[in-house]
Amino acid sequence: MNLRQAENLFSIIIWLQAAILAISVWVFLKGKNGEGVGVSSVFAVVFSIFFVISIIFCLTGTGKEGNLGKTGDSIYWENNKFQVLYLIGLFGPLILLLNYYQWSDIGLYFLIFYLAFGVLSVTSLHHVSVSYLIIGFSFLAYIIGAFR
């Protein structure tokens, strides 16, 4: 796998992660008739569209040529134009879930704290890989869900 293929795969994975989180929260809130169904449906549509766009860009070869950042990642945090949208895709659904649980779910606080700490470390230290942030978030979400 060359650098360009790795960058394309990583792009698909990060937008898939945001789309799955948004769709899952929408399905959960819709099934529970909870507040925020409208906002969660917007999240689900927007991040599903970005996932499809990332697949199209990867299949057509559209986009920039990959180059390694300081961390050795092909995706370097400062060069990512969509970093804010990606963070909204992770924080937004979690905040909707916190609102549903009336701000009392400690597991969601752990996820939000991890994301906030991870974003600060990636943007300020510049030696922490974005890949580790994303993998750690997924693992932490799995562990929190396993103990419920």
Q: Is 1 a residue whose pLDDT tops 50? A: yes
The pTM for the full model equals 0.80
Q: Is 137 a residue whose pLDDT tops 80? A: yes
The residue with greater pLDDT, 52 or 144, is: 52
The pLDDT, as a whole number, for residue 52 is: 94
Query: Mean pLDDT across the chain, nearest whole number?
Result: 81
Minimum mean pLDDT range among 36-50, 51-65, 103-117, 125-139: 125-139
Q: Is 66 a residue whose pLDDT tops 90? A: no
The pLDDT, as a whole number, for residue 5 is: 79
The residue with greater pLDDT, 103 or 73, is: 103
The pLDDT, as a whole number, for residue 23 is: 95
Q: Is 74 a residue whose pLDDT tops 50? A: no
Using a CB cutoff of 8 Å and minimum separation of 24, what contacts does 73-80 make? 73/129, 73/130, 73/131, 74/3, 74/6, 74/7, 74/10, 75/7, 75/10, 75/11, 75/14, 75/130, 75/131, 76/130, 77/122, 77/123, 77/126, 77/130, 78/123, 78/126, 80/130
Read off the pLDDT band of 76 (50, 70, 90): very low
